[in-house]
Structure 1
Amino acid sequence: MALLEGRLEIDDIDAFVATLGEIGARHGVTVQAFDSRYVADRRHIARAVEFADRAIERGENVARDRAVEILLYAAGRRQIDRALEMGVGEGEYRAVVLVDGAHDGDEAAAIAELKALGAFVERDSTLETQDAETLCGFFDITDAERAATDAPLSALVHERVALLEVEK
């Protein structure tokens, strides 16, 4: 699993998503783009990948597409429409792009092709800082919940991802 971080500028979201899918298919990898405001940290995405793969192996997946199943787990939701809020759209986004060749895909070639896309305006770290307000709102983490624990916000987000597995 690799994560590309940076700013994306997307003029046509349908064309962008199609391009990600084509790159993934060409190199045997899964490619999924996330608005970085909704990503707590690297482990957040890694756990979503693990849970999505387990659901697919068990035949319990909701989505037919692995990238969408990963998005569902990352969002901690079973509703695709709600999970899509975590993705990117048209305009400029600080983003995290997952490239995962779990089935012996060529991650390096996919990454090189993604980096060459004109959509990447700037490559910089987007996971170093968290947007606490957005994370709490999206994952329904209350002030009372945060006050009741000394766990970092990322741990509470990881809990939401894990709870999706339990609540199925």
Structure 2
Amino acid sequence: MRVLECRLAVDDLDSFVADLGTIGERHGVTIQAFDAHYVADRDHLERAVELADRAIERGENIARDRAVEILLYAAGRRQIDRALEMGVGEGENRAVILIDAGPSDDADGDTDRETRAAAACEQVRGLDAIGSQEPTLERTDAETLCAFFDITEAERAATDASLSALVRERVALLEVEK
């Protein structure tokens, strides 16, 4: 899995999403863009990918599209419209763009998967909407994460777990709530 941390300037969201889809199809990868305010850290996205792939493998997926399934897990929600709040919007965005070649199988070695993901990442970097490439996951927006994932002050006070761990717990709970 690769993540591209950047600032976006999206003039036309539908066109931007279509461009990501075209690049993903061309390279045989899944691409999903997230508003960085809603992402706890890289581990959050890795867990969402892992659980989405497991659901797809078992035939228990909610969405038909892998990118949408990853979005649902990252959001910890079953409703696509509510999960879409995590996505980027038109205008300026601090973003994290996930690029993943999918689970490895016998016919597709790790080297090929990495090559495809790298090529797709390079092409995404060239999109007009991509502004500066800069760390967007270093600053956690605790207020937004707590509100979005329904993490209360009482819950945070009752544990020594990090906010990222609590968010990953919400991601994992989607599996239980099915």
TM-score calculated relative to the size of structure 2 = 0.93
Deviation at 1:32, TM superposition (A): 0.2
CA distance in 2, matches of 1:113, 1:6: 14
Q: Which residue of 2 aligns with 1:159?
A: 169
Aligned to 1:67: 67
CA distance in 1, matches of 2:128, 2:16: 10
Show CA shifts across 1:118-155 (max 9, x none).
Answer: 11111000000100000000000001001101111111
Q: Is 1:45–2:71 an aligned residue pair?
A: no
Query: What corresponds to 2:13 in structure 1?
Result: 13
Amino acid at match of 2:7: R
For residues 80 and 100 of structure 2, the distance between their equivalents in structure 1, rounded to whole angstroms, comes to 20
> What is the distance in 2 between the residues matched to 1:118 and 1:71?
23
Partner of 1:141: 151
Q: Secondary structure at the match of 1:60?
A: coil
Alignment gaps of 5+ in structure 1: none
Q: For residues 3-152 of structure 1, what are the structure 2 equivalents within 5 Å?
A: 3-102=3-102, 104=108, 105=113, 106-152=116-162
- Count, aligned residues: 168
Separation in 1, partners of 2:74, 2:121: 21
Q: Please report the TM-score for the alignment, with normalisation by the length of structure 1.
A: 0.98
Instruction: Give the whole-Å Cα distance in 2 for the aligned partners of 1:68 and 1:162.
Output: 16
SS at match of 1:25: helix
Distance 1:75 1:108 in 2: 25
Percentage of matched positions with identical amino acids = 73
Structure 2 runs not aligned, ≥5 long: none
Q: How far does residue 156 in structure 1 lie from its aligned partner after superposition? A: 0.4
RMSD between aligned alpha carbons?
Answer: 0.8
Helix, strand or coil at the partner of 2:96: strand
